[in-house]
Structure 1
Amino acid sequence: MAANRKLLAAAVACAAAIVGLTGCLGGDEEKDPFEGMSADKIADKAADASKGAGSFKVAGEGQQEGKPLKVEFSIAKSGDCKGNVDGGADGTAELLVSGKTQYMKGDEAFWKDAMGGSGQAGKASKFKDKWVKTPTEKESGVCDADEMFRSDELKGLKREKDAEVDGEKAAVLTKSKSGKKSTFYVAMEGKPYFLKVVTSGKDDPGTMNFTDYGKPVVVKAPAPNEVMDMQELMAS
């Protein structure tokens, strides 16, 4: 379904493609937990640790096709998730994935924008503020930690000067390709989780923050009487 894919693509563009605050760290005498490791190896450890946490939260903002976009998701160990996307003038929407079912609830502006290319924009008001049930799209990767922290894409990195992210010491890894620069911040204390990722360049820049690793996330599907069927709404 086109509207569904567009929302997920926007979320993944921010969440999956960008896994920073820079500043000097004191205490050079402190041991570097990544001493002797290549930047790629550090990224591998971060990917394994972040996926291994099971649950986490991700939030950030950036641009999608030149338009502002904010996302916030909580991912449960089960693979379920819940979150929201704020597209500014293009509307806002909530997304919830429970088991094999995906639910979306957006305002009229969101549905109008999402359905514009399908010739169905005139029906946007029927979807306003309703939970709409659709099949999940596994390839989207929204709730898939394995997809979000794909270590096979974290290659050719360079370690820069260490920094801090919200008071936490972080190793800084960068990668530049085709006019796009990605900067990865990896925790240097405790488990080597990804803390923040920043992408810069003319195409879809953005910043994502990862928090609450390992903390329980409860995802509850909407009550049946609050859910509308996509096909029924399109046909009416």
Structure 2
Amino acid sequence: MAANRKLLAAAVACAAAFVGITGCSSEEKDPFDGMSADKIAKKAADASKGAGSFRVSGEGKQDAKTVKVDFSVAKSGDCEGKMDGGKGGIAELLVSGDTQYMKGDEAFWKDAMGGSGKASTLKDKWVKTPNAKGEGICNADAMFQTKDLKKLKRGDDSEVGGKKAAVLTKNESGKKTSFYVAAEGKPYFLKVVTSGKEDPGTMNFTDYGKPVAVKAPAPGDVMDMEELMKP
């Protein structure tokens, strides 16, 4: 009976905490207890790749220009998304199988082609080029490489979108990169923040495992870059 009274008293204390009468706490177990920062990062890379599909969005600087991106990547390696380069123009990118399709405004094509007079011709047209497999934002293996996830240090935990996250940092050549790994549920990468003089930015990762269907443009809406570049 004494044991039952103690359990009842504990339950009352916890219930009272919900209405602000008193406090009730319990220690949350660290899912990465005993693991080095490098091992946590590898676990996150394996989980993120294993999800098959994901969405990456954010902004960063490239060649002193601010670029915003928002891409959804399918398990197959196909993907679709948008890039906003400000004065550098806006473009949509779509990868389907062995082909990459890009559609941009005139500012984008002028910037991409060094002011070429063909920019107006390409405006708002889908332009196709061969897809370089194994590279770029549409490849999960390239996105979540483990070779750069070395010599990390774990800092204080934080939150990303209301989810508890372990924070792993790396300082190299004046560049600091912080990797936020979900400490609840699957250990996915939630955010990567890079700071420093060169190419700072923030990328957010969401929608892991969510199906992504990518459909190639109709042939009549597509122009071939190789044909366009012929003299």
TM-score class, shorter: 0.7 to 0.9
Task: Give the aligned partner of residue 47 of structure 1.
Answer: 45
Question: CA separation in 1, counterparts of 2:139 and 2:118?
Answer: 31
- Residue 28 of structure 1: how far off its partner (Å): 7.5
SS of residue in 1 equivalent to 2:165: strand
Match for residue 221 of structure 1? 216
Over residues 43-93 of structure 1, what are the superposed CA-to-partner deviations in whole Å (9 max), with x where a residue is unaligned? 000000000000000001011011111011100001100011100001011
Question: Which secondary structure does the structure 1 equivalent of 2:49 belong to?
Answer: helix
Q: What is the CA distance between 1:151 and its match in structure 2?
A: 1.0
Amino acid at match of 2:112: A
Query: What's the % identity of the aligned pairs?
Result: 74
1:231 is displaced (CA, Å) by: 2.8
Q: What letter corresponds to residue 213 of structure 1 in structure 2? A: Y
Q: Which residue of 2 aligns with 1:164?
A: 159
Q: Which has the larger radius of gyration?
A: 2
Corresponding position: 1:84 with 2:57: no
8 Å contact from structure 1 (residues 74, 82) kept in 2: yes
1:201 aligns to 2:199 (yes or no): no
Amino acid in structure 2 at the alignment position of 1:44:
K
Q: Which runs of 4+ in 1 moved over 3 A?
A: none
Q: Counterparts of 1:76 and 1:130 in 2: how far apart (Å)?
A: 24
1:134 partnered with 2:129: yes
Q: CA RMSD in A?
A: 1.3
Q: Do the aligned residues in 1 keep the contact of 2:129 with 2:226 (CA within 8 Å)?
A: no
Q: Which runs of 5+ in 1 are unaligned?
A: 1-26
Within a 5 Å distance, the mapping from 1:62-81 to structure 2 comes to 62-81=60-79
- Give, in whole Å, the separation in 1 of the partners of 2:102 and 2:118: 16
Structure 1 residues 1-236: aligned runs within 5 Å = 29-116=27-114, 121-235=116-230
Shift of 1:32: 0.3
Q: How many residues align?
A: 207
Q: 1:28 to 1:69 in 2, by over 3 A?
A: farther
- Where is the helix percentage greater, Structure 1 or Structure 2? 1
